[in-house]
Amino acid sequence: MSLTEEPAGATSQWWRGAVIYQIYPRSFCDSNGDGVGDLRGVTDKLDHVASLGVDGIWLSPFFTSPMRDFGYDVSDYCDVDPLFGTLADFDALLARAHQLGLKVIIDQVWSHTSDQHPWFQESAASRDNPKADWYVWVDAKPDGSPPNNWQAMFGGPSWTWNPRRRQYYLHNFLVEQPDLNFWDPQVQDAVLAAGRFWLDRGVDGFRLDVINFIFHDKALQDNPQAPYERPPRVPVLYQRHIHDRSQPEALAFLGRLRAMMDEAPGRMTVGEIGDEDPIARQQEYTAGVHRLDTAYGFNLLDARHPTSALFAGVMARWDNASGWPAWSLSNHDVDRYPTRLAGDDPALTRLLMAILVCMRGTTFIYQGDELGLPQGHVPFDKLKDPFAKAVWNGGAFRDGARTPIPWEPEGPAAGFSSNPDTWLPLDPAHRRLAASVQESDPASMLNFTRQLIAARRVSDALKTGDVKILSLATGLLGFERHAPGEQVICLFNLTRDAVEAPVADSAQVLLAINEAWAEGDGHVRLPAFGGLILSLEP
């Protein structure tokens, strides 16, 4: 498929109000018995994904990589790592997804590469080769110390000494993940060419990893200290990151990216934004028609207290005139939400999924959330993630969100693999939540998730309508969604006490959560963690 061809059935803004299912290939399904998930395994399970009623998938990195950060350290942007399969396997996955009516967006990790990428190998060889300036190289201070105080996300300084060039290079993450120098137009050309390669293969869009990290302050000014009451868990949190990320020049690059995407109708971009005020930065990166389509941050992903103020607050910031947000409760970078937010309470887990699906924006559901999987237990000696090891305090952190998906309750690896020795250990507690077990239970989390997504799919108000936050008693979250000819009211009780809330007598129940009910007397009854999605006469 050429870049200018539109995928079958594409619409220019299909992503507005879409529900997209994130797949972390290493942990989804292993087709060849090596204990690691792969692209053929993903293809084998796409029927399950399609049965949820979602609009598409986001596929985490499957590119050639030494796997120091499990694919987020790319050594070839335009090929598949043999661990996951081949380009033919990807093409087969893409074709099957499109056959099932699923869009496919893929990660693009452009802020940095692996230190094994040929670009870096050439750049590090000398100060005068054609790619000498493709990475951020800086001389040492007169005393030999790094050029400034910038701290890397995974711990330690953002600078590492290279003895061949006798210079430091910048890395916002691992030492093995050197930052590309986006001040060099050739770098921008090269990463856009990589993106064009995948667009030409027919992908429907990109999730752009840490896209606000692509530029740094040329003057290399020190970052100021961040306020804190107790010492943070990693040095990066001691600083306000005003010079090593979110530079204004990134917006011009987004314009170049948008121009390329506009040549490919029906494709979309979603940016990952990590910043001091992520919503403000997301709005900046999605403003107008020359930037990203949507963006998400960590307001909900980092949250640990599911209050009505949390959800009302983020929705109010993204008012109806402020662009289009994206939301998720879990992903591969954070503890799973049933544990982190719901405290492993099944009723609250359901309620939070309902809130997510009803929010204005594009919804991302992480693999296993439809099963209500709690955070997986991984003993320290089995941890693989370098960040999980760096911040270990007794929990598995990112590895606990990356354990294999249980497809069956029995078998050596619960249907994930024929090999009991999987890359991360399967949590035995997950077996009882296996997809096959929940498939036959009408009251399961799996079937509840399907009901939620089905309700959203048939409602213009829930998909793309405006939102109005309601003023209700403490602990109650209420908001209206409006579209031409349709009005929906969403009520959620985030407390353990039964409560009542007023509604119009004409309200009709579209979906009840955790045995909430409406009696038609102008009030609804919401038990602990109960909720209602109601249709009102416009």
Catalytic residues: 209, 263
How far, in Å, are 114, 381, 421 from residue 425 at the CA level?
A: 26, 11, 7
Residue 521: phi and psi, rounded to 5, are -110, 20
User: Which pair of tokens denotes residue 100?
Assistant: 């099932």
Q: Which of 110, 113, 265 is nearest to 189 (CA)?
A: 110
**Single-letter code of the amino acid located at 519:** E
The neighbouring-strand residues paired with 532 are 491, 512
Burial group, residue 485, by CB count within 10 angstroms (0-12, 13-18, 19+): exposed
In the 8-state DSSP scheme, what is residue 265? Answer: T
- Location of structure tokens 């606000």: 212
Packing angle of the helix pair 249-262, 278-286 (nearest 10 deg) = 50
**Parallel, antiparallel or unpaired: strands 476-483 and 486-493:** antiparallel
Strands lying side by side in the sheet with 531-536: 466-469, 476-483, 486-493, 531-536, 508-513
Q: Which of 534, 536, 535, 523 is nearest to 472 (CA)?
A: 523
How far, in Å, are 125, 141, 163, 171 from residue 168 at the CA level?
A: 13, 10, 9, 10
Burial group, residue 356, by CB count within 10 angstroms (0-12, 13-18, 19+): buried
Helix or strand holding residue 168 (H, E): strand 167-170
User: Which pair of tokens denotes residue 461?
Assistant: 């108000």
Q: How many residues comprise the chain?
A: 538
Quickly list DSSP for 88-153.
Answer: HHHHHHHHHHHHTT-EEEEEE--SB--TTSHHHHHHTT-SSSTTTTSB-EEPPPTTS--SS--B-T
**Single-letter code of the amino acid located at 282:** Q
Q: What are the residues whose beta carbons fall under 8 Å from the beta carbon of 468, sequence distance 6 or more? A: 479, 480, 482
- Whether the CA torsion 430, 435, 441, 446 is positive or negative: it is positive
The neighbouring-strand residues paired with 105 are 58, 205
Q: Which of 185, 12, 27, 168 is nearest to 103 (CA)?
A: 12
Residue 366: phi and psi, rounded to 5, are -85, 140
Quickly list DSSP for 55-68.
Answer: SEEEEPP-EE---S
Helix or strand holding residue 488 (H, E): strand 486-493
CA dihedral (160, 399, 228, 277) in degrees, to 10, reads: 90
